[in-house]
Every structure is written in C-alpha cells, then in structure tokens.
Amino acid sequence: MCRDEQGNITQLQSPGWVTLAVIPQIENYPADERFSPKVSRIILERVSEYLRTRTSVFAKVQVINPVYQPISFKGNIRLRAGRDATFYQKKLISEVQAYLSPWINSGSQNIVFGGTLMMSSVLQFIENREYVDYVTDFTMFVKSGGVDGPAVKAVTADTPWSVLIGGEQTYTIITNDTCSGGSQQAVFRIK
C-alpha cells in the first residue's frame, strides 16, 4: 500500500512486478549529501539491465532511488542555566538530524525503509539532551509545496521505498521565565 497525492491509501500489489530501491555506499558521500543518498540514472539502468538478464520473463523489475520524506519540527526550548543559546540550538538541530538519520555520521547504520515516526519519540529524545531543561509547544508536521502541513502525532512513510528523514527544524530558545524560584515547573503542551 502507499499514499497518493491526496493522502488516500492505494494498493501496490501487481503480480509479476518487483521494485528495487538502490542505495549507494554512503561512506563515499560528502557529509551534506548523506541525508538523501541517491545513485545516478546510469547506475539505475545498469542494475536494471543486470537483473533483466537474470530474471524470469514473467518478472518485471523496476529499479529506483528511494523517496526521502522529510519531517519537520517546531517548538520552544529552555536550555539549562549557563548554556550558550546559539551553540546549543545548532547542536540540537544536528543531533535530531543524526537521531532520525543515523547513517549520516558513520555510514555504518542501515537506512530503514517505510515505517512510522512518532512525535513522542522525537520529543523524548530532545528532552533527554543534557543541555535541555524543558520543551513547550512541540509540533511535528510534513511540508507540502512549501507550506506547513497540520500538526501530527505520527508520520507513516508514503511508500514502502520511502525513508523518513529530518526536515526543517525551528526551535525558539526560551530566555526568560514568567515563574521564579520554587514555584517554577516545566509545562509540556503537545499539539
């Protein structure tokens, strides 16, 4: 099954068809291209030709690049006392990217196709950073056509050959509290 442009689920079963998503050796890629590694059209055609000579005449093989599906986040972050806002905001963005795409740093982690990403797991990851005090107004969404989609609690890959990756992240650093002293408590609002 997969989702069409309107979000409707459609069946992907087609007798005799095999779809193969090809991923290159990631360790050879520049760091900025590791989030969505793809092979050239020439490589795809070579793989297709190689498989065509080794498969049954009743099998039709389609060789494609994966579809990388970016997931975006927004929220307000309160850092622990004495932390530089600019440095730790950049560090948080980098760590969330690595959490969602663990193959970017070493290339040794497998890329996971399909699946579902829960907002609560990303929120928990952020809250567990040693420099984060608390998080408020955290939302997860998918951009479509440059426009923010509605806030969602889970995102499921659109196709079996889709890979969920980190998209745009916007975190506002909370610099002053309206509470003081012993009455101060973290407030978590999940949209």
Domain residue spans of the chain:
2-183
pTM: 0.78
What is the C-alpha separation between 23 and 66, in angstroms, rounded?
7
pLDDT digits (tens, 9 = 90+) for 137-152: 999 999 888 888 899 9
Q: What are phi and psi of 131, to 5 degrees?
A: -95, -5
Stated as kind and residue range, the H or E segment containing 68 is strand 67-79
pLDDT digits (tens, 9 = 90+) for 81-118: 999 999 999 999 999 998 998 887 765 567 888 889 99
Residue 4 above 70 pLDDT? Answer: no
**Which ranges of 28-149 would DSSP assign to H, the alpha helix?**
41-52, 85-100, 103-106, 119-127
What is the C-alpha separation between 126 and 141, in angstroms, rounded?
16
Residue 58 above 50 pLDDT? Answer: yes
Residue 178 above 70 pLDDT? Answer: no
Mean pLDDT (whole number) for 65-82? 93
Tally of CA atoms within 13 A in the half-sphere of 5 that contains its CB? 1
Residue 182 above 50 pLDDT? Answer: no
Query: Binning pLDDT at 50, 70 and 90, where does residue 190 land?
Result: low
Q: Is 168 helix (H, G, I), strand (E, B) or coil?
A: strand
Strand duo 154-156 + 116-118: pairing: antiparallel
Q: What are phi and psi of 186, to 5 degrees?
A: -75, 140
Rounded to 10 deg, the angle between the 85-100 and 119-127 helix axes is 140
Residue 181 above 60 pLDDT? Answer: no
Strand duo 17-21 + 60-64: pairing: parallel
More confident residue, 2 or 36: 36
Strand duo 60-64 + 67-79: pairing: unpaired
Residue 67 above 70 pLDDT? Answer: yes
Query: Binning pLDDT at 50, 70 and 90, where does residue 74 land?
Result: very high
Query: Binning pLDDT at 50, 70 and 90, where does residue 1 land?
Result: very low
Name the least confident of 26-35, 42-51, 143-152. Answer: 26-35
